[in-house]
Structures are given as C-alpha cells and as structure tokens.
Amino acid sequence: MTTSTTVDWSADVFREIKARDIKTVCTVPDGGLTRLLNMVEADTGMRLVTLSTEEEGIGVATGQWLGGTRAMIAMQSSGVGNCINALGLPTTFRAPCLMLITMRGQWGEFNPWQVPMGQGTRPSLEAVGVKCFPVDKAEEVGETFAAAADIAFNSRVSAAVLISQRIVGAKGFGQK
C-alpha cells in the first residue's frame, strides 16, 4: 500500500470525535479506517457498531440523535450507493448525519469495480443534499472532519468528509 504521508490523520479525527462528544461510530469495516476504528473500540466511553450494510448506519445515527446522543458513520466510498435512499431519513427529521468516507476509484486504483462509485460518490451525495468536504492532504483531515461535524450538528444537516485515496493509499492485486 502506498500512502502520501506519515501524518496520523486517524488520531486527528479521533481527537475531534471526542471533542464533539460523538458516542457511537457505525461502520462496515474498511482497511483505510482500521486505525481509527481500533481507537474507537478501545475507548470505553464509545460504542463501535459493525453494520451488515452501510445504510443501517443512517438509521442508527438518526435514532441516536433523536434519543439525545451523537453518532457518525465511517465507510468506504463503495458503500455510499447503498445509502442514497436512506439519507432521506435524517433529512425528514432534521437530524444530522455525519459520514467519514475513505475513497476508492481514484488515485492508483487497481480494481475497475471501484471506479464508478468512486467517481460518483460526491455527485450522488450532493444530489440528495449532503454537504461534501473532500480532503487531499493527510494533515488537513482532522480540521476538515471538525468543520463537517460542526456544520452537521449545528445546522442539523448531512455532511460527508471524503478522504482521498491518495491519503489512504492504493492497493494492488495480491496486496493485503
């Protein structure tokens, strides 16, 4: 796996999650999110919810907000297509929906299956009213996540941070 930098963006995001009192992180695990998900799982004050499909996270995050706590969803761009219809739920309830999305189908992608959704992630999310915050530099992931979280929770809208594949790295066939 090749990555653009040695900056630990996962630690930056985790710090911002804690600062915003996000208690639940929903995920369909992704290799690019492993470090962050391990931090969440190790924190006894937080809950990591492993989903069978990404759109379940939309329901969990909305329900958590309606119940008085904050949640977010962490996923790979390939799961965004599963969420498009479900994103009507937080919109209807004026509930925030914060997503952290590691991108595929971009920088050095080896798998042609990933390219269409990788290219369609941002336009699809924006078409259903999600505010998108793409980030291409590891040192900017934490502050970008903080800005997206603040907009989501303060304005009660859906927001997504799109972490470039250039940051996460590109795999080749045979790499783990």
> Residue 171 — very low, low, confident or very high, per pLDDT cuts 50/70/90?
low
DSSP annotation of 120 reads H
- Give the pLDDT confidence score for residue 133 in this predicted structure: 98
- Work out the percent of the chain whose per-residue pLDDT is above 90: 77
What pLDDT, in 10s, does the model give residues 152-162? 999 999 999 99
- Give the pLDDT confidence score for residue 63 in this predicted structure: 97
What topology does CATH give the domain 9-167? Answer: Rossmann fold (3.40.50)
By the 8 A CB rule, do 51 and 57 touch?
yes
- Give the pLDDT confidence score for residue 173 in this predicted structure: 53
Q: Please state the rounded mean pLDDT for residues 15-39.
A: 95
- Is the pLDDT reported for residue 44 higher than 80? yes
Tell me the pLDDT of the chain averaged across its residues: 91
The half-sphere exposure of 55 on its side-chain side, counting CA atoms within 13 A, is 9
DSSP annotation of 126 reads H
Strands 97-102, 70-76: pairing kind: parallel
- Give the pLDDT confidence score for residue 3 in this predicted structure: 45
pTM: 0.91
